[in-house]
Structure 1
Amino acid sequence: MGSTKPGNQKVKITKSTVDAFPIPESGQAFLRDTFLKGFGLRATASGSKAFIIEKRVNGKVKRKTLGRFGELTVEQARKMALQYLGKVAQGIDPQAESRQRRLHSTTLKQAYKQFLKARKNLKPRTLYDYERLMEVAFEDWAQKPLVEISKSMVAEKHRALGDKRGPAYANLSMRFLRSVLNFAMAHYDSENGHSILLENPVCVLTRTRAWYRLERRRTVLKSHQLPAWFQAVDTLRGPEKSYFSRTVGDYLIFLLFTGLRRQEAAKILWENVDFKDRSVLIQDPKNSIPLTLPLSGFLRDLLHSRFEERINEYVFPGKEGEGYLIEPKRQIAHVIKEFKADFVLHDLRRTFITVAESLNISPYTIKRLANHKLRDDVTAGYIISDIERLRKPMEEISQFLLDSSGPFKQNPTYSPSQPGPKPASRMQFFEQP
């Protein structure tokens, strides 16, 4: 039977010799063919027997598993081994070739998963948006190999999404795809060190100027609209209203007087409100740069009133007192009806910034209050705006808004020192506004 060294026998491999080859008690044992050099069988302590091929390629001995005995016959395995050795004789590395095939078959979904692993600090909302885009916009492309996504396919998909879901959604989807493919270009390299993608096919939208032109929303609350808006919001804030209704009213006022984004304000914790210092810390804003804002006298009193009737750790708790406030569509619709004009929450941020500009507050201070990044501005890098420097402009903006509020300022519910009754039970959260 040839060499009888344990774990390293040499015979002509046939079905009978494979059947007779014992399973090792531990580790693995090899049965090597005397007829075709490099062809063999490997048995492991787990009980499996698999055909292998071994060959020196580029100075290194490489071993490849051809398949399990039982799934392959000896004749089938020997034929595969011959094909493997034939490629090696031509200077081809079959394992590298196999890796290349796997690499070039990488799908959009697989690349997306790797993209998420690399982007460790994505905000929950961003992650949610990405997941929805994969599930909706690119559901039919999830199993498509990256190398098959062409520029013409991108252009057609962009048009189709624009027709079905609107220009903004189409642009958003393609920006997402561009990010994933840019990642793939850097992440997936072939054996020669070149990316499997020669270029990002989404570039066709730029080169052909096919991106939809979207007018940036510029709506604000104009000065002559402010009295009516305040009165409309105040219909949510009377002492007789439910706790949740009054919370929404205070939340809308707070957005206007701080210029914060809706999520930034909604997630404020009481532990980040400093009444002694008259400030509030925004821990996780959109640009990931923590912001400490000074509180005007009005805002301090507003929050103090809310503190007296707090029910959980959030300044603006959600319905039923759980978590933080999620965009309250029904209450906003009520305000819009009373206001007799449409508005969105981000209009309040734009109004805050517009008021600041009208008061000749410096651009650097406005950017600091709005927590905008000061990009490509060397001078801005030398200007440090601490909280005390921001306090005066914050008071000026707050006073302007109050002076523009009309009858609201004289309304008893304006005074934040007169809160309504603290809810005796969570059932009061379901009361009408």
Structure 2
Amino acid sequence: MASGKINKTAVDRLAPADRVQLFWDAELKGFGVKVTPKGRKVYVVDYRMPGKRGSNRYTIGPHGSPWTPDTARAEAKKRLLEISQGVDPNAEKRRRRSETIDYAFSAYAKQFAERYLKSNWPGSYDRAVSTLRRHAIPYFGKRDIRDISKADCAAFIDSLWEMEATARKAREVVGKLFGWAEDRGDIERSPMERVPAPKPGIGRERVLTDQELAKVWSACEAMKSHPYAPLVQFLIFSGQRRGEVGGMLWDEIDWDRKLWEVPAGRTKSRRGNVVPLTQPMVTLLGNLPRLGPLVFSITGENELGNHSKLKARLDGLVEESSGQILDHWTLHDLRRTVATGLQRLGIGSDMIELIQGRTRKLGAGIRYQRYDYLDEKREATNRWTDHVISVFSLRP
């Protein structure tokens, strides 16, 4: 803990550490700034109710409009005056919000996804919502988020110990949910705050062979009455992210120029991506019914859900048609498979990064280097498409 006069200069200088840091004002007792390991700065008031034991913490709000050092200080003075008169600000906040908010974890998670994840996590929104729906909501159910403890959160993460990547994602998403709840004043402190994140395991290296890709493609042909099958086939052709392909809109396709323009708000890199469409990709998309704005959808309005069930159905068709069970694979492995295949065809790593829309680490130069390499991307994508056609014995 450190102390000093809380002003703009002091707050700007506060740096994150590996655990939550608190900086207390030297003039107004109890008024402080909390700095999270990710650099979030939140104004708080620590207090004790008259005649009661134990300390409490009231969250004023995150640094930034409307909370500046001056406005936060004025709010802290107001709350400290109420406290001296026996009014608990946290109790009042809970009372006011309880009249309009459903604190059941299942309901709160849906609100969190709609009001926070959709606008702040566009690139990983699908996976985050899937993590909540498949793991967090079944575990916590309708428990009041205000009653969930650190031990409860640790037990939840422990329950996922066999799925290291899922456990890390669950720690991140549920931790953000509780952090959001704390910022909004719905809970006093995030119970996930001190729960350690699972250590990263060995990264996945699964790359499907050409023979395995052919079996997956054949199974998709048997399942092509469902939009999940052409989605998987498009992933095999393009090597793009499942979430970005799953959210593809008809309006994003330039049929004349044979391009799919992914807007920045829907890409993980936040820079957007322009994907050249080969003729087989155009044919695949053109065969899909236009039911609404979404391309890969049953209704045209909603993205596909239940990916685990659909994947299991596809695996069953692979076994049925080939008599073999493929070693465990995921749709994300197709992205790695395409990248590896492009590399085998002599495509350079930088070009593969561009094709797949990954962030280029070019430093400040990226602000000035505006050439889009579209012709080179199209040539490389055509080479991969020709390879796919030859492997699957498809007609061009």
TM-score, normalised with respect to structure 1: 0.53
CA pair 249-178 structure 1, distance change in 2 beyond 3 A: closer
The equivalent residue for 1:179 is: 176
CA pair 359-96 structure 1, distance change in 2 beyond 3 A: farther
The equivalent residue for 2:353 is: 367
Following the alignment from structure 1 to structure 2, what is the Cα–Cα distance between the partners of residues 271 and 186?
37
Q: By how many angstroms is 1:166 displaced?
A: 4.7
The equivalent residue for 1:353 is: 339
Which structure 2 residues correspond to residues 300-319 of structure 1 after superposition, within 5 A?
300-304=279-283, 307=286, 310=289, 312-313=291-292, 318=297
Q: Which has the larger radius of gyration?
A: 1
Q: What whole-Å deviation, never above 9, does each CA across 1:77-135 have from its counterpart, x for those lacking one?
A: xxxxxxxxxxxxxx975666232434589999389578564556265734464466553
The equivalent residue for 2:225 is: 244
Following the alignment from structure 2 to structure 1, what is the Cα–Cα distance between the partners of residues 177 and 292?
37
Tell me which of 266, 273, 277 is aligned to 1:285. 266
Following the alignment from structure 1 to structure 2, what is the Cα–Cα distance between the partners of residues 277 and 93?
66
The equivalent residue for 1:335 is: 318
The equivalent residue for 1:258 is: 238
CA pair 370-261 structure 1, distance change in 2 beyond 3 A: same
Q: Are 2:259 and 1:276 aligned? A: no
Q: By how many angstroms is 1:308 displaced?
A: 5.9
Retained in 1: the 8 A contact 2:354–2:377? no
- Percent sequence identity over aligned pairs: 18
Q: What whole-Å deviation, never above 9, does each CA across 1:263-302 have from its counterpart, x for those lacking one?
A: 432443444332321211234634254422112xxx3244
Which structure 2 residues correspond to residues 375-390 of structure 1 after superposition, within 5 A?
377-386=363-372, 389-390=373-374
Q: Are 2:220 and 1:220 aligned? A: no
The equivalent residue for 1:139 is: 141
Tell me which of 90, 99, 109 is aligned to 2:103. 109
Retained in 1: the 8 A contact 2:182–2:188? yes
Retained in 2: the 8 A contact 1:115–1:180? yes
Which structure 2 residues correspond to residues 167-206 of structure 1 after superposition, within 5 A?
167-188=164-185, 196-197=188-189, 202-206=192-196
SS in 2 for 1:162: coil
SS in 2 for 1:281: strand
SS in 1 for 2:261: strand
The equivalent residue for 2:379 is: 395
Following the alignment from structure 1 to structure 2, what is the Cα–Cα distance between the partners of residues 234 and 355?
19
Q: Give structure 2 stretches of 5+ with no counterpart.
A: 1-80
Following the alignment from structure 2 to structure 1, what is the Cα–Cα distance between the partners of residues 118 and 297?
28
Following the alignment from structure 1 to structure 2, what is the Cα–Cα distance between the partners of residues 321 and 188?
38
CA pair 211-120 structure 1, distance change in 2 beyond 3 A: closer
SS in 2 for 1:244: coil
The equivalent residue for 1:99 is: 89
What's the RMSD between the two structures over aligned residues? 4.4
Q: By how many angstroms is 1:313 displaced?
A: 5.0
Retained in 1: the 8 A contact 2:342–2:384? no
Q: By how many angstroms is 1:258 displaced?
A: 0.9
Following the alignment from structure 2 to structure 1, what is the Cα–Cα distance between the partners of residues 364 and 88?
51
CA pair 228-401 structure 1, distance change in 2 beyond 3 A: farther
CA pair 337-397 structure 1, distance change in 2 beyond 3 A: farther
Which structure 2 residues correspond to residues 29-108 of structure 1 after superposition, within 5 A?
93=83, 97-103=87-93
| Matched positions, count | 295
Q: What whole-Å deviation, never above 9, does each CA across 1:384-408 have from its counterpart, x for those lacking one?
A: 342xx13323422442453366563
Amino acid at match of 2:236: L
Q: Give structure 1 stretches of 5+ with no counterpart.
A: 1-90, 190-194, 417-433
CA pair 115-402 structure 1, distance change in 2 beyond 3 A: closer
Retained in 2: the 8 A contact 1:275–1:300? no
The equivalent residue for 1:158 is: 157
Following the alignment from structure 2 to structure 1, what is the Cα–Cα distance between the partners of residues 147 and 212?
56
Retained in 1: the 8 A contact 2:258–2:276? yes
Amino acid at match of 2:351: T
CA pair 118-277 structure 1, distance change in 2 beyond 3 A: closer
